Structure 1
Amino acid sequence: MAVRKDEKSGKWLVDVWIGVHRIRRLLPDKRTAELVEKDLKLKEARGEYLGIREVKAVTFEAFSRDYLKYVETNLSAGRYREVEILCRVTFVPFFGSRYLREITPKVVEDFKGERAKRVKASTVNESLNVLRAMLNLAVKWGHIQDNPVRQVKRLKLDAVEPPSLSAEESNRLLEACRENRSLYTFTALGLSTGMRLGEILNLTWADVDLRRGIVKVRPKAEAEGVTTWRVKTGDLRDIPVNDFLADVLARHPRHIASPYVLPNPKGGRYTRVNMQARLRKAGKEAGLSIHVHPHLLRHTFGTALVAGGVDLDTVRRLMGHTDIKMTMRYLHAAPDRLAGAVQTLPFGRPIAQNLDSRSGG
């Protein structure tokens, strides 16, 4: 609605777009506001307009720089890197010179189509999710009135079971890591807690409480020897430690000058790429045919819990999922639970039993 009452001031607000320009003005009454709106529309029809509180048009490229500053301040360092790469490599080359006002649902559909030619459907959908978050902020900041991504459907995804390791494969991987103490502890943490890569790399000894038998997932503030880090979902959680992991952590050597459980030789954090490469190499040495990466350890944790009969909400809480739909991906590991569930229904009897009872009567 171009004319509406402003709840804070009690006045009437004219809020219209003329081309790529946004014009806003508070007026004392509805009648005056409607007259100003009509005047603006007449000016637009003639190719001119009254410059009343004009909001400067912003290109996507300029907005993306402001958005990245917002992400750097409010989200995790890992998320910042992901969004920065996506903006630089994907979004800016496609949307860069367009004004935000010019990005319509049709333009977003064109982007989706082009993206789908190069990457898998799940990656396209993740790109759309990030773009939607960006333009939600553009709405909040007053650059545009509506988010065009909201009208664009995501690509349909085929159901895919998360890959995981069997118990035998997990033990082979641990054995291949045994000569490298840090890698062995990293793998034990991933398999026994389901922690994400960033959560393990940022784990400090202050987060480990072997007396209570837990490890804590907590954000990190800048301090001596510690780099600022935020939990991905913002979900702080305490994860119980089993006997195997408790023994691994108790035996793990501590770096004299570092608070991290798994510091690099200089006492800082290992990079994600470094740990990914080392784990991939260990997987090959273990003779595993599956591609081994840190998130595979997390999938193995979730799959093993569900297969062991742990209820989904408990698994969700242990893994830090905000949406139980993420946890439901692991139901494939327990088909017998589904079959057993329907057998508990209290009504009816098998047809054969009904026929036998009739013939006997």
Structure 2
Amino acid sequence: MRETGDIVFERSRAKAQAALEKAQAELKRRGSAEELVQTLHEIRTGSRVRSIPLDELPTRWDGLLRRRPLSDLYRAQGIKRIERFVAFVRKASPGIHEMAQVQAAVATAYCKMELQRGISAQTYNQIVIHLRSVFQLLRKEGGTAENPFEDIPLREGETIFRKPFTVEELALIEKTAKDDPFIYPLIVTGMCTAMRRGDCCTLLRSAVDLKAGFVTVKTSKTGETVQIPIFPLLRSVLEKALAEPPVRPPFYVFPSLEAHYRINADHLTDRVRRVFKAAGFYNTDPGESAEDTGSRGQVQQARAHGVRRASVRDFHSFRVSWVTVALTAGVPLEIVQRVTGHRTTDIVLKHYFQPGKEDFRRTLAGKLPALLGDHTQRAADEFNLADLRAKLTAMEDSTWRHIRDELLSRLPAEKNVTPLPALSKSSFAA
């Protein structure tokens, strides 16, 4: 180090010395700033700031008090995301040991690394939102002044919606599922209730009222209480299940399905896919047409950006199908929301209402005035009792006039008929 080297060596020595002095100054400045924060905090509270070791971050997040417990799947995914981030910090910044030491630059570097994996925008956004939430929830205990993920923007990407089944396709799937007695109750329950797979598997006996003809469930995802009418197909499945003696508390309607969902939910996914394949829904190789393979439709679709293909036909498609069939048939959106448990209409209309082109055309042709729609093929009995009952059930003080006018407008015009007297709010209430 004391000897003089050549020009290249001396230049590199000067650059290294300058970098060392800069790093030392930065460490001194940061240390002074951290010590100042510690001093101020100690003056205000009487104790120094304590942070959370990075190794304890998954455990601390898992142990947070919540309004309702996390599902096993979401909990496992959340812990895995945090552990992946902690592993990155250990490798990229070995000097960081506590949560309070994580700065925005580290969070940005991690997000860039995740993007380089080629994940979809949806997966990337889920990671950023989750880690942002972790640092926000633990900020006081972790002693962080700023959330390192706060200013990281989310990405816009393609949205691939699940495809609904037609009524004919649902009938085919139900018929095919009869060959698998284990999975048949799950498929029928999903078709007839629009419930998520977890809610179907963990359906309690106390939630089923066969006499009143309703299932009342508090959904696991949104916490909303929904009421779902029991249709004949579902009733036969529920009656058979409830005829079996209860196994152990809590008393589930389908105890075997609940056990598989809790231990290995992927097994249920595989069994449903087998039914779909037997019914004609499966993936085809690139370049093959549906006519060549006999496939009624793909169950997965490639993404423009993303590691895995998107699922377009799976168990959740029953929920999309229920919403699409109901809204296409004219069931009021308010009634649909009471069944699905969605809090906003935007979610229902954007992600769940996916009518086919022919259904879309037929519905508009039947509802629009004759000037805009095609009423030549309109059946005389289109205005059925189910539609009428749904409309009347949706009547409230603020909507009954609008619904009444809509019903009257759909009645066929008749000559020499005395008009109905004007209804008042009091007469409606009576």
Shift of 1:161: 2.9
Q: Is the 8 A contact 2:177 2:183 kept in 1?
A: yes
Task: Give the distance between the partners of 1:137 and 1:67, measured in 2 at CA.
Answer: 8
Report the secondary structure of 2:109's partner residue: helix
Letter in 2 for 1:68: D
Shift of 1:121: 0.9
User: Paired residue for 2:82, among 80, 87, 90?
Assistant: 87
Change (3 A) 1:61 1:320: farther
Matched residue, 1:227? none
Report the secondary structure of 1:149's partner residue: coil
- Work out whether 1:315 is the aligned partner of 2:345: no
Matched residue, 1:251? 240
Matched residue, 1:60? 54
Report the secondary structure of 2:215's partner residue: strand
Q: Aligned Cα RMSD in Å?
A: 3.4
Q: Which structure 2 residue ranges, 5 or more long, are not aligned?
A: 1-31, 283-297, 300-312, 370-430
Task: Give the distance between the partners of 2:60 and 2:174, measured in 1 at CA.
Answer: 44
Q: Is the 8 A contact 1:68 1:80 kept in 2?
A: yes
Report the secondary structure of 1:151's partner residue: coil
Task: Give the distance between the partners of 2:48 and 2:183, measured in 1 at CA.
Answer: 58
Superposition pairs of residues 103-252 of structure 1, within 5 angstroms: 103-118=102-117, 119-141=119-141, 143-218=143-218, 231-252=220-241
Superposition pairs of residues 46-57 of structure 1, within 5 angstroms: 53-57=47-51
Report the secondary structure of 2:64's partner residue: helix
Q: Deviations over 1:195-241 (max 9, x none)?
A: 1111111112111111122112248xxxxxxxxxxx22222222222
Report the secondary structure of 1:212's partner residue: coil
Identity among equivalent positions (%) equals: 21
User: Paired residue for 2:253, among 257, 261, 264?
Assistant: 261
Report the secondary structure of 2:150's partner residue: helix
Matched residue, 2:346? 325
Task: Give the distance between the partners of 2:181 and 2:65, measured in 1 at CA.
Answer: 35
User: Paired residue for 1:75, among 70, 79, 96?
Assistant: 70
Q: Deviations over 1:328-354 (max 9, x none)?
A: 2234427559978x978xxxxxxxxxx
Q: Is the 8 A contact 2:51 2:143 kept in 1?
A: yes
Change (3 A) 1:112 1:174: same
Q: Is the 8 A contact 2:52 2:142 kept in 1?
A: no
Q: Is the 8 A contact 1:24 1:53 kept in 2?
A: yes
- Work out whether 1:18 is the aligned partner of 2:34: yes
Task: Give the distance between the partners of 2:363 and 2:77, measured in 1 at CA.
Answer: 37
Shift of 1:263: 1.8
Shift of 1:244: 2.5
**Higher mean C-alpha deviation, range 130-139 or range 112-121:** 112-121
Task: Give the distance between the partners of 1:235 and 1:19, measured in 2 at CA.
Answer: 48
More strand by share: 1
Task: Give the distance between the partners of 2:322 and 2:33, measured in 1 at CA.
Answer: 52
- Work out whether 1:302 is the aligned partner of 2:329: no
Q: Which structure 1 residue ranges, 5 or more long, are not aligned?
A: 1-15, 28-50, 220-230, 345-361
TM-score (structure 1 length as normaliser):
0.70
Superposition pairs of residues 273-292 of structure 1, within 5 angstroms: 273-289=266-282, 290-291=298-299, 292=313
Q: Deviations over 1:5-34 (max 9, x none)?
A: xxxxxxxxxxx961797451455xxxxxxx
Shift of 1:260: 1.7
Shift of 1:279: 0.7
**Higher mean C-alpha deviation, range 174-183 or range 138-147:** 138-147
